[in-house]
Chain A
Protein backbone atom coordinates (compact mmCIF):
# COMPACT_ATOMS: atom_id res chain seq x y z
CA UNK A 1 0.00 0.00 0.00
CA UNK A 2 0.91 3.62 0.26
CA UNK A 3 1.54 5.76 3.30
CA UNK A 4 2.60 9.33 3.89
CA UNK A 5 3.99 10.94 6.99
CA UNK A 6 3.95 14.61 7.83
CA UNK A 7 4.23 16.53 11.12
CA UNK A 8 0.92 17.04 12.85
CA UNK A 9 1.58 20.65 13.87
CA UNK A 10 3.91 23.48 12.93
CA UNK A 11 4.02 26.98 14.39
CA UNK A 12 5.75 30.00 12.87
CA UNK A 13 5.62 33.79 13.08
CA UNK A 14 4.31 36.19 10.50
CA UNK A 15 6.89 37.03 7.86
CA UNK A 16 8.96 33.92 8.49
CA UNK A 17 9.62 30.91 6.27
CA UNK A 18 8.31 27.46 7.15
CA UNK A 19 8.92 24.06 5.62
CA UNK A 20 6.44 21.20 5.92
CA UNK A 21 8.01 17.84 5.23
CA UNK A 22 6.36 14.78 3.78
CA UNK A 23 7.92 11.34 3.60
CA UNK A 24 6.18 8.52 1.83
CA UNK A 25 6.22 4.84 1.06
CA UNK A 26 4.91 3.58 -2.23
CA UNK A 27 5.75 1.17 -4.99
CA UNK A 28 4.93 3.71 -7.66
CA UNK A 29 3.21 7.02 -8.21
CA UNK A 30 2.81 9.78 -10.74
CA UNK A 31 3.54 12.74 -8.53
CA UNK A 32 3.22 14.48 -5.19
CA UNK A 33 0.56 17.14 -4.62
CA UNK A 34 -0.03 19.65 -1.86
CA UNK A 35 -3.35 21.01 -0.67
CA UNK A 36 -4.37 23.70 1.79
CA UNK A 37 -7.51 23.46 3.87
CA UNK A 38 -8.86 26.16 6.14
CA UNK A 39 -11.18 25.21 8.98
CA UNK A 40 -14.60 24.41 7.62
CA UNK A 41 -13.44 24.76 4.02
CA UNK A 42 -12.58 22.50 1.13
CA UNK A 43 -9.02 21.45 0.31
CA UNK A 44 -7.45 23.77 -2.27
CA UNK A 45 -4.81 22.54 -4.68
CA UNK A 46 -1.47 24.30 -4.19
CA UNK A 47 1.24 22.50 -6.09
CA UNK A 48 2.21 19.35 -7.95
CA UNK A 49 5.62 17.74 -8.50
CA UNK A 50 5.81 15.08 -11.16
CA UNK A 51 9.58 15.29 -11.41
CA UNK A 52 12.34 15.72 -8.87
CA UNK A 53 13.16 19.30 -8.04
CA UNK A 54 11.55 22.53 -7.00
CA UNK A 55 8.28 23.99 -8.25
CA UNK A 56 7.60 27.60 -7.37
CA UNK A 57 4.22 29.28 -7.28
CA UNK A 58 4.38 32.72 -5.73
CA UNK A 59 5.14 32.47 -2.01
CA UNK A 60 4.76 28.69 -2.09
CA UNK A 61 7.32 26.20 -3.38
CA UNK A 62 7.24 22.44 -3.39
CA UNK A 63 10.07 19.98 -3.69
CA UNK A 64 10.29 16.30 -4.53
CA UNK A 65 13.10 13.78 -4.28
CA UNK A 66 12.02 10.36 -5.50
CA UNK A 67 15.32 8.77 -4.48
CA UNK A 68 14.75 9.92 -0.88
CA UNK A 69 10.96 9.32 -0.90
CA UNK A 70 10.63 12.82 0.39
CA UNK A 71 9.01 16.09 -0.43
CA UNK A 72 8.32 19.38 1.22
CA UNK A 73 6.20 22.48 0.95
CA UNK A 74 7.94 25.78 1.60
CA UNK A 75 5.91 28.81 2.55
CA UNK A 76 7.66 32.17 2.49
CA UNK A 77 6.68 35.56 3.91
CA UNK A 78 4.10 33.91 6.10
CA UNK A 79 0.80 35.70 6.57
CA UNK A 80 -1.88 35.14 9.18
CA UNK A 81 -4.17 33.80 6.47
CA UNK A 82 -1.71 30.93 5.87
CA UNK A 83 -2.90 29.36 9.13
CA UNK A 84 -4.54 26.19 7.85
CA UNK A 85 -4.01 22.47 7.43
CA UNK A 86 -1.67 21.34 4.68
CA UNK A 87 -1.86 17.89 3.11
CA UNK A 88 0.58 16.08 0.90
CA UNK A 89 -0.90 13.50 -1.44
CA UNK A 90 0.45 10.84 -3.74
CA UNK A 91 -1.14 10.73 -7.18
CA UNK A 92 -1.48 7.02 -7.55
CA UNK A 93 -0.57 5.13 -10.68
CA UNK A 94 -4.12 3.81 -10.42
CA UNK A 95 -5.79 6.61 -12.26
CA UNK A 96 -7.89 8.99 -10.28
CA UNK A 97 -6.84 7.87 -6.84
CA UNK A 98 -4.81 9.97 -4.46
CA UNK A 99 -3.58 8.90 -1.05
CA UNK A 100 -3.44 11.75 1.44
CA UNK A 101 -1.25 12.31 4.48
CA UNK A 102 -2.96 13.11 7.76
CA UNK A 103 -2.25 16.80 7.37
CA UNK A 104 -0.10 19.40 9.12
CA UNK A 105 -1.79 22.17 11.05
CA UNK A 106 0.15 25.39 10.53
CA UNK A 107 -0.38 28.18 13.03
CA UNK A 108 1.00 31.58 12.13
CA UNK A 109 1.48 33.91 15.08
CA UNK A 110 1.87 37.69 14.96
Chain B
Protein backbone atom coordinates (compact mmCIF):
# COMPACT_ATOMS: atom_id res chain seq x y z
CA UNK B 1 0.00 0.00 0.00
CA UNK B 2 1.32 3.42 -0.87
CA UNK B 3 1.79 5.77 2.06
CA UNK B 4 0.52 9.28 2.55
CA UNK B 5 1.83 11.50 -0.23
CA UNK B 6 2.30 15.22 0.19
CA UNK B 7 3.26 17.65 -2.51
CA UNK B 8 5.29 19.69 -2.89
CA UNK B 9 8.06 18.73 -0.45
CA UNK B 10 9.53 22.22 -0.31
CA UNK B 11 8.11 25.61 -1.08
CA UNK B 12 9.38 29.16 -0.83
CA UNK B 13 6.82 31.94 -0.96
CA UNK B 14 6.80 35.67 -0.41
CA UNK B 15 4.81 37.43 2.30
CA UNK B 16 1.31 38.21 1.12
CA UNK B 17 1.15 35.37 -1.38
CA UNK B 18 -1.09 32.37 -1.03
CA UNK B 19 -0.19 28.69 -1.18
CA UNK B 20 -1.96 25.38 -1.73
CA UNK B 21 -0.61 22.12 -0.35
CA UNK B 22 -1.81 18.69 -1.41
CA UNK B 23 -2.22 15.41 0.41
CA UNK B 24 -3.17 11.99 -0.90
CA UNK B 25 -4.07 9.62 1.94
CA UNK B 26 -3.57 5.90 2.10
CA UNK B 27 -6.10 4.15 -0.10
CA UNK B 28 -9.22 3.43 1.91
CA UNK B 29 -8.53 6.02 4.59
CA UNK B 30 -11.32 8.57 4.70
CA UNK B 31 -9.98 10.71 7.54
CA UNK B 32 -7.34 13.28 6.69
CA UNK B 33 -5.85 15.62 9.28
CA UNK B 34 -3.46 18.52 8.88
CA UNK B 35 -0.87 19.67 11.39
CA UNK B 36 1.62 22.51 11.53
CA UNK B 37 4.98 21.74 13.11
CA UNK B 38 7.39 24.43 14.23
CA UNK B 39 10.37 24.17 16.58
CA UNK B 40 8.75 26.42 19.15
CA UNK B 41 5.13 25.24 18.98
CA UNK B 42 5.41 21.52 18.30
CA UNK B 43 2.63 19.80 16.38
CA UNK B 44 -0.46 21.97 16.19
CA UNK B 45 -3.75 20.64 14.83
CA UNK B 46 -5.16 22.57 11.89
CA UNK B 47 -8.23 20.65 10.76
CA UNK B 48 -9.58 17.23 9.93
CA UNK B 49 -11.76 16.05 7.08
CA UNK B 50 -13.85 12.94 6.77
CA UNK B 51 -15.86 12.10 3.68
CA UNK B 52 -15.45 15.63 2.31
CA UNK B 53 -16.70 17.26 5.53
CA UNK B 54 -14.61 19.25 7.97
CA UNK B 55 -15.23 17.58 11.32
CA UNK B 56 -12.85 19.56 13.46
CA UNK B 57 -10.83 22.73 13.30
CA UNK B 58 -7.92 23.95 15.39
CA UNK B 59 -7.20 27.44 16.61
CA UNK B 60 -5.81 28.94 13.46
CA UNK B 61 -6.93 32.13 11.71
CA UNK B 62 -9.32 32.02 8.79
CA UNK B 63 -6.39 32.42 6.40
CA UNK B 64 -5.93 28.68 6.83
CA UNK B 65 -8.52 26.62 5.01
CA UNK B 66 -8.85 23.19 3.54
CA UNK B 67 -11.03 20.83 1.63
CA UNK B 68 -11.35 17.19 0.79
CA UNK B 69 -12.38 15.67 -2.49
CA UNK B 70 -14.52 12.63 -3.18
CA UNK B 71 -11.41 10.48 -3.64
CA UNK B 72 -10.28 11.53 -0.11
CA UNK B 73 -7.42 13.64 -1.42
CA UNK B 74 -7.15 16.85 0.56
CA UNK B 75 -5.75 20.30 0.03
CA UNK B 76 -4.98 23.06 2.44
CA UNK B 77 -4.68 26.68 1.50
CA UNK B 78 -3.00 29.53 3.30
CA UNK B 79 -3.76 33.01 2.06
CA UNK B 80 -1.90 36.25 2.73
CA UNK B 81 1.18 34.45 3.95
CA UNK B 82 3.06 35.78 6.96
CA UNK B 83 6.64 35.09 8.03
CA UNK B 84 5.28 33.13 11.00
CA UNK B 85 3.61 30.65 8.67
CA UNK B 86 7.00 29.15 7.88
CA UNK B 87 6.73 25.60 9.14
CA UNK B 88 6.51 21.95 8.25
CA UNK B 89 2.94 21.11 7.28
CA UNK B 90 2.05 17.50 7.89
CA UNK B 91 -0.89 15.56 6.63
CA UNK B 92 -2.02 12.36 8.31
CA UNK B 93 -4.59 9.78 7.35
CA UNK B 94 -6.36 7.20 9.44
CA UNK B 95 -8.75 4.33 9.01
CA UNK B 96 -9.92 3.96 12.59
CA UNK B 97 -8.59 7.03 14.38
CA UNK B 98 -6.45 4.98 16.73
CA UNK B 99 -3.21 5.79 14.93
CA UNK B 100 -2.31 8.12 12.13
CA UNK B 101 0.04 7.65 9.22
CA UNK B 102 1.83 10.87 8.42
CA UNK B 103 3.16 12.04 5.11
CA UNK B 104 6.69 13.43 4.78
CA UNK B 105 5.33 16.94 4.96
CA UNK B 106 5.68 20.14 3.01
CA UNK B 107 8.31 22.52 4.31
CA UNK B 108 7.06 26.03 3.66
CA UNK B 109 9.39 28.98 3.93
CA UNK B 110 7.91 32.46 3.77
CA UNK B 111 10.36 35.25 2.94
- Which A residues lie at the B interface, using CB under 8 A? 30-31, 33, 35, 41-45, 48, 50, 87, 89, 91-92, 94-103
Contacts and interface: CB of A to CB of B under 8 A. Distances in A.
Contacts of B49: 96
B43 A97 contact: no
20 contacts: A30-B97, A33-B99, A35-B102, A41-B104, A42-B102, A42-B104, A43-B92, A43-B102, A44-B102, A45-B102, A48-B99, A91-B97, A92-B56, A95-B31, A95-B48, A95-B50, A95-B56, A99-B45, A100-B35, A102-B42
B50 A96 contact: yes
A33 B56 contact: no
B42 A97 contact: no
A31 B98 contact: yes
B98 A33 contact: yes
A45 B102 CA distance: 8
B16 interface: no
Contact of A42 (B31, B55, B97, B105): B105
| Majority-rule SS of B interface residues | strand
Contacts of B100: 33, 43, 45, 98
A99 B58 CA distance: 10
A96 B90 CA distance: 14
A100 B55 contact: no
Specify which of B31, B48, B99 lies most central, judged by the most chain A CB atoms within 10 Å of its CB: B99
Contacts of A50: 98
A100 B56 contact: no
B33 interface: yes
A102 B102 CA distance: 17
A96 B103 contact: no
